[in-house]
Protein backbone atom coordinates (compact mmCIF):
# COMPACT_ATOMS: atom_id res chain seq x y z
CA UNK A 1 0.00 0.00 0.00
CA UNK A 2 1.26 3.47 -0.88
CA UNK A 3 2.20 5.91 1.84
CA UNK A 4 -0.07 8.99 1.46
CA UNK A 5 1.44 12.42 1.95
CA UNK A 6 -0.62 15.58 2.14
CA UNK A 7 1.32 18.23 0.27
CA UNK A 8 0.79 21.65 -1.21
CA UNK A 9 2.71 22.12 -4.47
CA UNK A 10 3.45 25.77 -5.09
CA UNK A 11 3.90 26.51 -8.78
CA UNK A 12 2.94 28.88 -11.57
CA UNK A 13 0.02 27.86 -13.75
CA UNK A 14 2.30 27.54 -16.79
CA UNK A 15 3.80 24.54 -14.94
CA UNK A 16 0.51 22.74 -14.23
CA UNK A 17 1.63 19.91 -16.54
CA UNK A 18 4.54 19.15 -14.22
CA UNK A 19 2.39 18.39 -11.17
CA UNK A 20 1.14 15.08 -12.53
CA UNK A 21 4.67 14.20 -13.68
CA UNK A 22 5.85 14.74 -10.10
CA UNK A 23 3.08 12.55 -8.71
CA UNK A 24 3.81 9.89 -11.34
CA UNK A 25 7.52 9.95 -10.44
CA UNK A 26 6.79 9.27 -6.77
CA UNK A 27 3.93 6.76 -7.11
CA UNK A 28 6.10 3.73 -8.08
CA UNK A 29 8.23 4.46 -5.02
CA UNK A 30 5.25 4.05 -2.71
CA UNK A 31 4.30 7.71 -2.18
CA UNK A 32 0.79 8.86 -3.04
CA UNK A 33 0.83 12.65 -3.25
CA UNK A 34 -2.45 14.22 -2.19
CA UNK A 35 -2.02 17.76 -3.51
CA UNK A 36 -4.08 20.68 -2.22
CA UNK A 37 -2.66 23.29 -4.61
CA UNK A 38 -4.74 25.26 -7.10
CA UNK A 39 -4.24 24.17 -10.70
CA UNK A 40 -6.11 24.03 -13.99
CA UNK A 41 -8.12 20.97 -12.98
CA UNK A 42 -9.02 22.57 -9.64
CA UNK A 43 -9.41 26.22 -10.56
CA UNK A 44 -11.63 28.81 -8.91
CA UNK A 45 -13.17 32.08 -10.06
CA UNK A 46 -12.02 34.18 -7.11
CA UNK A 47 -10.40 37.48 -8.01
CA UNK A 48 -9.81 39.25 -4.68
CA UNK A 49 -6.19 38.60 -3.64
CA UNK A 50 -6.99 38.77 0.08
CA UNK A 51 -9.83 36.28 -0.31
CA UNK A 52 -7.62 33.95 -2.37
CA UNK A 53 -4.87 34.08 0.27
CA UNK A 54 -7.03 33.71 3.38
CA UNK A 55 -9.88 31.50 2.16
CA UNK A 56 -8.27 29.33 -0.52
CA UNK A 57 -4.48 29.15 -0.23
CA UNK A 58 -3.99 29.40 3.55
CA UNK A 59 -6.37 26.51 4.39
CA UNK A 60 -4.79 24.37 1.65
CA UNK A 61 -1.28 25.03 2.98
CA UNK A 62 -2.45 24.46 6.57
CA UNK A 63 -3.89 21.05 5.57
CA UNK A 64 -0.61 19.94 4.01
CA UNK A 65 2.09 18.26 6.04
CA UNK A 66 4.79 19.26 3.55
CA UNK A 67 5.12 22.24 1.23
CA UNK A 68 6.77 21.64 -2.15
CA UNK A 69 7.83 24.40 -4.53
CA UNK A 70 8.01 23.20 -8.16
CA UNK A 71 11.00 25.22 -9.44
CA UNK A 72 11.05 26.49 -13.02
CA UNK A 73 12.30 29.77 -14.52
CA UNK A 74 8.83 31.31 -14.05
CA UNK A 75 8.58 30.68 -10.29
CA UNK A 76 11.25 33.23 -9.38
CA UNK A 77 9.11 36.21 -10.34
CA UNK A 78 5.81 34.95 -8.96
CA UNK A 79 4.51 37.05 -6.07
CA UNK A 80 2.02 34.24 -5.36
CA UNK A 81 4.75 31.58 -5.05
CA UNK A 82 6.80 33.80 -2.74
CA UNK A 83 3.71 34.54 -0.59
CA UNK A 84 2.88 30.82 -0.38
CA UNK A 85 6.44 29.97 0.72
CA UNK A 86 6.45 32.72 3.34
CA UNK A 87 3.07 31.60 4.65
CA UNK A 88 4.23 27.97 4.82
CA UNK A 89 7.33 29.04 6.76
CA UNK A 90 5.18 30.97 9.27
CA UNK A 91 3.11 27.81 9.77
CA UNK A 92 6.23 25.75 10.48
CA UNK A 93 5.86 23.58 7.36
CA UNK A 94 8.72 21.60 5.91
CA UNK A 95 9.64 23.41 2.68
CA UNK A 96 11.11 21.41 -0.20
CA UNK A 97 12.10 22.81 -3.59
CA UNK A 98 11.98 20.36 -6.50
CA UNK A 99 13.63 21.33 -9.76
CA UNK A 100 11.23 20.91 -12.69
CA UNK A 101 11.86 17.88 -14.90
CA UNK A 102 14.60 18.76 -17.40
CA UNK A 103 15.40 22.08 -15.75
CA UNK A 104 18.99 23.27 -16.26
CA UNK A 105 19.10 25.57 -13.22
CA UNK A 106 17.50 28.96 -12.90
CA UNK A 107 17.09 31.56 -10.19
CA UNK A 108 15.05 30.43 -7.20
CA UNK A 109 12.21 32.42 -5.68
CA UNK A 110 13.64 34.67 -2.98
CA UNK A 111 11.51 33.11 -0.25
CA UNK A 112 12.64 29.60 -1.26
CA UNK A 113 16.30 30.64 -1.01
CA UNK A 114 15.60 31.96 2.47
CA UNK A 115 13.32 29.27 3.92
CA UNK A 116 13.82 25.96 2.09
CA UNK A 117 14.81 22.95 4.14
CA UNK A 118 15.87 21.15 0.97
CA UNK A 119 16.09 21.73 -2.78
CA UNK A 120 16.48 18.58 -4.85
CA UNK A 121 16.76 17.45 -8.44
CA UNK A 122 14.27 15.38 -10.42
CA UNK A 123 14.98 12.12 -8.63
CA UNK A 124 12.23 10.21 -6.85
CA UNK A 125 14.44 8.92 -4.04
CA UNK A 126 15.91 12.39 -3.35
CA UNK A 127 12.44 13.96 -3.35
CA UNK A 128 11.09 11.33 -0.95
CA UNK A 129 14.11 11.77 1.34
CA UNK A 130 13.54 15.54 1.34
CA UNK A 131 9.80 15.13 2.06
CA UNK A 132 10.68 12.80 4.93
CA UNK A 133 13.11 15.22 6.56
CA UNK A 134 16.52 15.00 4.89
CA UNK A 135 17.96 18.48 4.46
CA UNK A 136 20.24 19.45 1.59
CA UNK A 137 20.56 21.52 -1.54
CA UNK A 138 21.10 20.06 -4.99
CA UNK A 139 21.44 21.36 -8.50
CA UNK A 140 18.89 20.09 -11.04
CA UNK A 141 21.22 17.22 -11.98
CA UNK A 142 21.34 16.01 -8.36
CA UNK A 143 24.87 17.22 -7.63
CA UNK A 144 25.31 19.20 -4.40
CA UNK A 145 25.18 22.99 -4.56
CA UNK A 146 28.11 25.07 -3.44
CA UNK A 147 27.91 26.27 0.15
CA UNK A 148 25.99 29.48 0.62
CA UNK A 149 25.77 31.86 3.53
CA UNK A 150 22.33 31.50 5.10
CA UNK A 151 20.48 34.18 6.99
CA UNK A 152 19.69 32.91 10.48
CA UNK A 153 16.33 33.54 12.09
CA UNK A 154 15.77 33.85 15.81
CA UNK A 155 13.15 31.69 17.47
CA UNK A 156 10.14 33.56 18.80
Nearest CA to 131 out of 13, 36, 32, 62 is that of: 32
Strand partners of residue 33: 5
Strand 94-99 versus strand 136-137 pairing type: unpaired
- C-alpha angle with apex 114: 113 to 117, nearest 5 degrees? 80
19 with 69: CB under 8 angstroms? no
Say yes or no to pLDDT of 152 above 60: no
Question: All domains of the chain, ordered by start, with CATH?
Answer: 3-137 (3.40.50.450)
Query: Higher pLDDT residue, 76 or 30?
Result: 76
* 64 vs 61: CA distance, rounded Å: 5
Nearest CA to 21 out of 84, 66, 68, 64 is that of: 68
* 79 vs 125: CA distance, rounded Å: 30
**For 4-42, how does the pLDDT look when each residue is reduced to its tens digit (9 = 90+)?**
788 889 999 889 889 889 989 988 887 777 776 765 655
Q: What is the mean pLDDT of the chain?
A: 87
**For 88-139, how does the pLDDT look when each residue is reduced to its tens digit (9 = 90+)?**
999 999 999 999 998 888 999 999 999 999 999 999 999 999 999 999 999 9
Amino acid sequence: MADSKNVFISHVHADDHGLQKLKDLLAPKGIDIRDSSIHTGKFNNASDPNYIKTQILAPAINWAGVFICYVSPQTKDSDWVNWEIEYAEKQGKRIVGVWAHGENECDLPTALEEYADAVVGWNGDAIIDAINGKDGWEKPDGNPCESVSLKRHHCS
